[in-house]
Structures are given as structure tokens and as C-alpha cells.
Structure 1
């Protein structure tokens, strides 16, 4: 059985700037926020570099809040994970119905700065299985400056070789079925070009001529880095370096395509990836980089689409009255006394946004379970809600209910 998955990958080196809140430009075009459900991505990946540091920014930051507000605004996507490595922030958004199909989640970070310890360069990484297929997402910021080409190559190999996951079938980054690698890779145009020449070719839309000087493409051809990775055809102008708040290139640097989105598919996966869009978004001017996005479609052979927990559709609940949660467990599910069921109001943005919760019973006498919810824990605010089963043993969501109504008591 196969299923089509739409993946949106977005990268931006924000240069320690704050989001533009002037109202003149929004993040929607970069993040492909759309009211058209048919064109909405199933998975949205956002990698930021040079996000300002503050004591609380390890928990959240203004860019994460702004992007989450934009991506989750119409309720189609929720924020699944946030991984931070110094100034790198990697955000993963998904459509909620996919939660029970995601397993074996792990996060890693790699510092590749001075001595391999300084965190100003490196990668934030997340891996998981989706419908049984292994996926690894790497958001990275590699070493700057044209002369540090070999250093960038070394950092690529460091990230690939030093990160080891517990999944025996794919312990290394490149052993996954799908790898998405995005960020400020910092590959420049080689030394044979100079500023005036590049600007003239950009103005003349002779980008293919410039791509012949691109370090990343050259290193791939030589087999020294990113071998086996693919990329959509680059038809947008170099994304670095701009004078901030303008569309003009900074004369101190030769314009280059530093900001990229690459992907790699294992030879053992027969299905292919289509890049339906690959572009920059020059209207954003708070940084000296321009953001980049790529829209990809995966025709994925789904090995496992079953739900391990199935909720019975609840009868209408009444605000502040006792309620009953009914669900059935797959016969193979291992339960724990730390499993819990969260109640979420429609419009929630992340798994921590539950209104209330109840512990799930750990003893399994039958497949079907009924868990009472005391009236003190039933919301007093009417609206649409849904239930989510969280497994402590598997460290994942095992089931999600349909939306159901909680109503005010008709007798007042």
C-alpha cells in the first residue's frame, strides 16, 4: 500500500534579527500557509540559523512563536518537535492524524565549531519512522567564508559519522530511507568569479552559468560531500549576502547560494521524490540572507498504517458533568501505568496544549477500556475537542479521536 506525503522544507539564516512585525510582509508565503486543504503539506520542516540566544530561548524564542502562530493558524498542522543547537532551531510540524503513525522518535545535536565543541556551527537533528519508513531531518549551519570549503566538507562527514541512533536498522544519518538536509550550508561560488561578474549574470538571469561555479555542486560531482543527495533545480537568485532591509547585494561578499534544501532516498526505497517548488523569498529583508523553501512530494510505500488505539466516537459531553472515555487497544500493545489520555480543544498547536488529562489503566483484562472523567475535569467551555492517547512505553502517540462536541447543559 502506498500513500502520498507532501513535505515542505523551509530554511532561513535570520542573522540574529527579530521577526518583522510591521505588517508589510508576513511569513505565509515562505511557510506556504494556505486555506486550500488539498495543497496543504502533511509535514512542514523549518530550520533557522543565528537565532538570538537568551536564557529562556532554549525553551522557546520569538521566531518559534511567530512561525508556530503562522503555520498552525488554520488548524491543519500542529508543532510536533523543536530541536535547538545553539543558534540553530529545527521545527517539525505535522497534520495531527499522522501522530499515531510516527514512532521511534529521537533527537540529536552536533557542535562542529572550534575544536568540534563550540556550538556556533553544527546541526540539530530529528529522526522517526513514518508508516514504517525511517526519516532523518538535519538542519545545519556549516562554516562560513569561501576558503573554508574543506572545513564544510569535514563538518558534513562529522554530522554523518558521529551521530548514532538506537534504531539498529538505521543508526547513522545516511542509513535512513529518507534524509532531508537543509540550512545555511555556506557553500559559495568558487574563487574564479568576482562581485561585478556575478551581479551582471544575476541581472541577466544567467543563473545556470553561475551554478557552474557553485562549490556545493562541484563537491558533489567530485564525491567529497553530499554524495547521493538531490536538489530541485535552482532558478532563484543567490540568497547571500544582502544589505539588510534592501534587495541590494552587499558589495563586501560575492553573492552565493548559501541556503539550500537537499534530500536523499535510500536505494532500497523504490518510490521517488518530486520537487514541485524550489524558490527563495526575497521580500523578506530583516536578515542579510533570503529564506528558501522547497515543496516535495513523496510516494511512500506504507508498511504500517494501523492505529494501536482506537477511540469510540464519544456521545456528546456536557460541560462540568461526568464523562466516559471509551477506546480499544491492539492486542500487541504494551501498556504502562504512566500512559495518559489528553483532552484537547480544537485549535491546539502542540501536544503540551491539553486542557486536562486522565491516567489510562495499565491492566488489560479486555481489549476495550472505559475510563471515567470526573465532572471537575470536564471543561466548562463548550466547543469541539479531541482525545489523544500518549504511551510512556513507546514514547509516542498511539491514538487520536475524531473531533466531538462538549455542550452547555440545556437545563440552567
Structure 2
């Protein structure tokens, strides 16, 4: 059986708050679904962060609903686990459960298999660092429940310290050994790894498009097609068609010529690209840079720029950071001395406060306080 493994969809995310970039995310997701159907996938796995926020907008909801309806018509089951972006700090039902209740996709459990053909699939939702012991216990239960099946898949949305010691919450040694394929989400770069203690490949397919933490860069994005028909799981990573993004460094002394070259490169893409421009030189006048770069509006969907004054050896940034979400997270983490608190403040508390809903913001803060106060 062929299994499509997608992760970190972030439906609803709009880079630079551009409607075109939000539509780009939907297009890559729909392309992944269409390829999965065309290739004859017998199962689709969504390994967390289906939406960019716990309360997704209408376009994001409809996009997922239409894809799930298309898969159901083809009799292709869909299973999922929750990522941190799908889980609200409030005592609220995750939005993805709506589709589960309607029978359009199935939420995976650690102790109860979802069986398709000769493959049993188990899963666990995202757990924060403070609840890892409970997660490891769930994984132990999954290993016990999986013993009666010949082919087994484990789905999670967690970071492995073996691959990123700063962003990981668990180690490969914490994972149960008795699975043929480990379908993970959370890391946005495509990574495949085999560990001696695991029964099959561990795969992060990566996000389907660039997300706030990644900025502007040239990189391929895609998903995994996994052949489970043989003795071992065989993975094939499928790149998707996306709007191009790239970075260039221009010389301040020949800025006009540099801009012309950027425009020529941009003209070679089917869609107007997103571009990051660094301008290096001495005695830089930001007004002169802005006057030259304005020409990029003809060829680029969006661009950001950064002067690098070699004389002062100081980097002076444009008025607007290249990614507001990531800049807010960085500044909050610096102020609060905690990435976890920063993520809570920006992703959970700030949206409620910006809507002017004081009672909702207070409830979110109170629930978070109670959870932290009962930690051992």
C-alpha cells in the first residue's frame, strides 16, 4: 500500500499578510492531495499543524474540507494528529475534530489502531516539554497494542533532540522500536533518518511552504509517499511547485545594475517571486536604496531589503522586519527569557487581546497559570 505523509500544512498562513501568499499555501496543499490521488495512495497522513492558528479562517477551513471530500469520494481514508498550532490554550475543542466527527478524517490514538489493509496506524498529539513523561507512556502503550500487526506506522508531531538539540522535546531512544515507519511533523525542513533502535525510517517531510520561522530562502518543499508493500518501508519525497523566493546581495556602488539583474531573474518565474535584498557598501543612504529598489515592484510580489554599511560595520534594518511573526516571537523571547512563554504570549494571548476581548484573554492567561502551577 502507498501512504501519503504530509505535515505542517499551516493552512491560513499568509506570509507578509499577503492574500497571494495565503493562496499559495492552499495551492501547494491541493497539489499534494492531487498527486496522492493520482499515484494511488491508499491512506493520507496529516502529521500535525493542519492550521496556522487554533481558530482558522474560513478559507482555510473550506480548503481542508474540499480536500477531505475529494479523498472520501475516492475512498482514501485520512488520519491526523494535532500539532501545537492546532491546540488552543483555552478549554476548547480543537477545530480539526469537526472533520473527525463528520467522518471525513480520523484522529489517531496511541492505544487504538486505525487499520487500512494490512497496515495499523497509531498516533499521539503534540505534547509540550512539561508533559513528555505522559507522552512516553502513551508510546509504550502504542508499542504493546501494535504487536499483533505485521506492518505498523507511528504518527507524531514532536521535535527530536537528535536532529535539533534546541528545538527537540524527546530523543530517538524514547521512541518505541516496533514500527516500520515513523511519520513525524514539527520540523519544517525535509529530513529522513534511520536509528539503530527503530524498526524503520523516521521522516519529517517538512512544511508544504515557507512558514514564519524560515524567512525568505531558496528551498524545495514537499511531502512523502511511502511504499508499505514490501518488507521495509520505502520513502519517496515529492517536491511541490511553489512561488520562488530568493536572496541577493548587491553592491551599493553599482546598485542600478544590480536591480536590473534581479528583475531579469524574477522575470524567469511563472509567478512573481518574493525577494530579500542586502545592499553592501560605504556611506549608505537608505533613501537612495529605496529609490532604486522601487523598480522591483514591477517584477516581484514582495521584497524586503537590508543595508549593510561596511564603514560603520553596523547592520541597519529596513523599517519593517522581513517576518513580523518571527520578529515578535524573537523580541518576546528576549524579554521573557523563555521561548515557551513567548509562544504563549504571541500565539495565544495576543490574538485575544488584539480583538479587544478582555474576558477571553483573561481566561487564556488563567488556564495557562493553572497548568504551570500544578507542574511537579
- TM-score, normalised by the number of residues in structure 1: 0.33
Higher relative contact order (CA 8 A, sep 6+): 1
Higher helix share: 2
- TM-score, normalised by the number of residues in structure 2: 0.36
